[in-house]
Amino acid sequence: NDFAEKAKDADGFVFGTPVHYAAASGNMTAFMDRLFYSAPKEAFCRKPAAVITSARRAGTTAAYEQLLKYGNAHRFLLHWNNVHGSRAEDIQQDEEGVRIMRVLGHNMAWLLRCIEAGKAAGVPEPRKEPLAKTNFIR
């Protein structure tokens, strides 16, 4: 609940998780389930977000896809990245992954500046579409 309140004023988000058995950690999954079930969608709508996964070897893509669904449901502007290593010290040796994290930081900062410039220039936000639900069982 505390995070949901803070999210309303946040400009963007970075959600990170270690990968356990090709999935996000249980703590992260529980946090995201509770947060996105209870928080108003407006707290996250059209805000830039990144999902970062870290694994010893494999499973980062599956864990990323798991976390991606939260952002899609709340209309995030999303980026994704992953790094590899058994320990935090190992990740520093993943030169490509560390470079990707730097690029992510630069891209997030640029996107936040673009959003702010658009607001200052009077560029309106996209029109909100009314909710439509379809029941395929007839």
Res 24: pLDDT: 92
Res 77: pLDDT: 61
Length of the chain: 138
- Range ranked top by mean pLDDT from 9-18, 63-72, 80-89, 98-107: 9-18
Do the beta carbons of residue 63 and residue 28 sit within 8 Å?
Answer: no
Q: Is 95 buried (19+), middle (13-18) or exposed (0-12) by CB count in 10 A?
A: exposed
Comparing 58 with 25, the larger pLDDT belongs to 25
pLDDT per residue as tens digits for the range 77-133: 666 677 888 887 888 888 888 888 888 888 888 888 999 999 999 999 888 888 788
Res 74: pLDDT: 64
Cα dihedral 115, 3, 83, 60 sign: negative
The CB density around residue 93, as the number of other CB atoms within 10 Å, is 11
